Amino acid sequence: MDIVVIVQILDSTLRLATPLLFACLAGLISERAGVFDIGLEGKMLVAAFMAAAISFVSGNVWIGVAGAVTASVMLSLVHGLAAITFRGNQLISGVAINFLAAGITVVVAQNWFRQGGRTPSLSGDARMPRLTLPFADALRDVPLIGPLYSGILSGHALLVYVAFLCVPLTWYMLFRTRFGLRLRAVGENPAAVDTSGVSVTALRYGAVAICGVLCGLAGAYLSTGLSAGFVKDMTAGRGFIALAAMIFAKWRPWPALWAVLLFGLLEAVANRFQNIEILGLTLPVQAMQALPYILTVVILAGFVGKAIPPRAGGQAYVKEH
Amino acid sequence: MTSFKTMLGAASTLALMASMAQADPALMYDLGGKFDKSFNEAAHNGAERWKAESGGNYRDIEVTAEAQRVQFARRLAEAGADPVVVLGFANAPTLEEVAPDFPDTSFVLIDMVVDLPNVRSVVFSEHEGSYLVGMLAAMASETGTISFVGGMEIPLIANFACGYAQGAKAVNPDINVIVNYTGSTPAAWNDPVRGGEIAQAQFSQGSDIVFAAAGGTGLGVLQAAADAGLKSIGVDSNQNYLHPGSVLTSMLKLVDQAVYDAFNDGAGLETGIVVMDLAAGGVGYALDEHNADLISDQMQEAVEAAKAAIIAGEVTVHDYRTDSTCPAF
């Protein structure tokens, strides 16, 4: 395997891991606050659609991103309303959001653009520009550092770097700030937070809103950064893979980064090598493409040790009288 | 809830019946949707052409989930549509189940063969059309490596790949043809992100021309080629206009003609197997103002010569579906 192949695979890994990373951190923050969210997929899908639609209409991708984040946060608040205020079942609310998103994106797109539930192809400023990092061109021919820096790290859309920056930010917020401490506490023992005079409801809504912002960025990157336009169901299960990565990482930001990179790498490898020969045995393409899912099952079966969710996760908080 | 659903179903069936007093033809699209800019859209265009020319009316319906196939086909037949044109290889089992229940209705299946007395099966010689675009790709390639992105790995799509490779190797026996598939579930027809990534992986292996036969996924492939400044080949409909100057040509499959013919023949049409090959004008390659600069006269001459030779029977392009092997690999 030569260096060109490795560079291409790692480059592809970064791109494929980005939407997973956003969604994974989104789920992590929400669940740390005790609100389970399996509606990541739906929020990403709506965001992907809004980003593509608004970018196309306005001709500016950043307005599209703002629209995507707004739409995703609105859906998050619907989830919050059902799960926090009305104490509904959080899983059912999440499933409902997924169904709603799958249907509404296609219906609105069809009525808006009349192209059978897709948006027109984006071009020019309606697409996310790719950034060339400083000195990338100068360093290109330097051995080792050149391919690593210019080939892999440079040349991605801004949101890729934002996603990776979100990992330390999330870690800092959760483990070094007062808000983070309270957020974690509200997911473990909301009654204790309540007795100390802090609003459980406000904290949980805050977490759900942050989750919405991150899902919005994930969706926007899918439709304006990775591809050029929205097609129906384009998230293709990435929201669920992100959930698996979150459990794999046991609800911690840094392990979440490694988990999504692993899933991204597997997908990139499956795209690059469709038939792998191992010890004279040819692995068919189907086996390669099933690998992320097999890994998910293995992980969820407890292979990585016990993954303990936040203790109050999934439960609505009822104040004692 | 259940009774509500039944009422809804009954109401929609009634509405269907009311709109079809006489035997109007009907068209059932496959997954991917009416406006996929490819296979289904070609069928839609054929139906619209018939409507404009004959002044008649037709009914159409889009399948959005596997479970709807039998239900929708049955509903169209029950509503009195004749003929019922059903698109896509995946609907062969649908017609095997529905057609015997409506012996007086004619059905048309496009892309697959069902052996029933009231079914016309239209199959295209994709290998012949792909052979021609394979030749063009090999002549246009500067790197000596070309590639193919398929949707699911099924015999129909493998037949595209096989014809493509045969055509390319007829021009340049040493050419390297990379063949990749998007996935093994129907989601593979609608994942432009993965399509684009696969195309980029192929480019990094030296490919400079990519042929996409993958429905909506193909849009991502064409986009990736345009972004990389390389060339792509579209499929089914003429996709040259999507990225002028980057789409080398499109492998045409005249699904519109098949639908138009079926609608024209009307109720009681002749059944059996109809093969739409090069000789019948059922497949071909697209040449228009968007790719005129990409195809030189010399290339066009070579392809036209090959086309004549195939029609005359001097050159035989192997059909992958006959024995599931490909001589070019």
Q: Which residue of A has its CA nearest to B35?
A: A116
Q: What is the per-residue pLDDT across A266-297, written as a single tens digit (0 to 9) for each?
A: 888 888 877 666 666 777 777 777 887 787 77
Residue A30 tokens read as 């929400």
Question: Cα dist. A269→B35, B161, B176, B194, B201 in Å?
Answer: 32, 22, 20, 12, 9
Q: Quick one: average pLDDT of B140-158?
A: 92
Tokens of B285: 């390659």
What per-residue confidence (pLDDT) applies to B167? 95
User: What does the pLDDT look like over B96-117, one tens digit per residue?
Assistant: 999 999 999 999 999 999 999 9
Instruction: Give a yes or no: residue A316 inside a domain.
Output: no
Query: What total number of domains does chain A contain?
Result: 1
How, if at all, do strands A281-283 and B145-152 pair?
A: unpaired
Q: What is the pLDDT of residue B25?
A: 93
pLDDT at A210: 97
Domains defined along chain B, listed by start: 8-124+256-276 (3.40.50.2300), 127-252+296-323 (3.40.50.2300)
A109 within domain boundaries:
yes
**Residue B109 DSSP SS3:** strand
B192 with A286: CB under 8 angstroms?
no
> Is A58 part of any domain?
yes
What is the C-alpha separation between A10 and B206, in angstroms, rounded?
A: 18
Residue A289 maps to a domain: yes
Structural domain of A39 = 3-303
- Among partner residues A116, A237, A289, which is closest to B33 by beta-carbon distance? A116
Instruction: Judge: A117–B193 Cβ closer than 8 Å, yes or no.
Output: no
Residue B226's pLDDT is 93
Domain containing residue A255: CATH number: 1.10.3470
Tell the burial category of A307 from Cβ atoms under 10 Å away from its Cβ (0-12, 13-18, 19+). middle
pLDDT value for B1: 47
ipTM at complex level: 0.82
The single-letter DSSP state of residue B241 is G
Closest approach of chain B CAs to the CA of A265, in angstroms? 12
Residue A112: inside a domain: yes
Tell whether A212 is covered by a domain. yes
Residue B125, phi-psi category: left (phi > 0), alpha (psi -120 to 50), beta (remainder): beta
Interval A114-140: pLDDT, tens: 777 788 888 888 888 888 888 777 777
Burial class from Cβ neighbours inside 10 Å (0-12, 13-18, 19+) for residue B130 reads buried
Confidence of residue B262 (pLDDT cuts 50, 70, 90): very high
What pLDDT does residue A122 have?
Answer: 87
B-chain CB neighbours of A294 within 8 Å are none
Helix (H) or strand (E) holding B60: strand B59-62
In chain A, % of residues over pLDDT 90 = 57
The partner residue sitting opposite A16, judged by closest CB among B181, B184, B197, is: B197
- Write the DSSP string, A54-101: HHHHHS-HHHHHHHHHHHHHHHHHHHHIIIIIS---HHHHHHHHHHHH
Per-residue pLDDT at A50: 96
**pLDDT tens profile B120-136:** 999 999 999 999 999 99
Asked whether residue A88 is assigned to any structural domain, the reply reads: yes
pTM of the model: 0.84
Please judge whether B184 and A117 are an interchain contact, meaning their C-beta atoms are less than 8 angstroms apart.
no
Cβ count near A42 (within 10 Å): 29
Cis peptide, bond prior to residue A168, ω within 30 of zero? no
Tell the residue number behind the tokens 């001589």, with chain if given: B327
Residues of A with CB under 8 A from a CB of B: 4-5, 8-9, 12, 15-16, 114-118, 121, 222, 226-229, 231-234, 236-237, 267-268, 271-272, 274, 285-286, 289-290
At B18 the pLDDT is: 45
Cα separation, B205 vs B50, whole angstroms? 45
Under an 8 A CB cutoff, do B183 and A289 touch?
yes
Residue A309 in any domain: the answer is no
Cα of A110 vs its chain's centroid, Å: 26
A-chain residues near B181 (CB < 8 A): 274, 285
Contact B83, B266 (CB under 8 A): yes
Residue B15 has pLDDT above 70, yes or no: no
Look at A302 and B290; give whichever has higher pLDDT. B290
* Residue B20 confidence (pLDDT) above 70: no
pLDDT mean over A44-52? 96
pLDDT, position B283: 93
Mean pLDDT along residues B208-229: 92
Question: How far does the CA of residue B305 sit from the closest CA of chain A (Å)?
Answer: 35
* Cβ pair B201:A233 closer than 8 A: no
A293 burial type by CB count under 10 A (0-12 exposed, 13-18 middle, 19+ buried): middle
The H-or-E segment that residue B146 falls in is strand B145-152
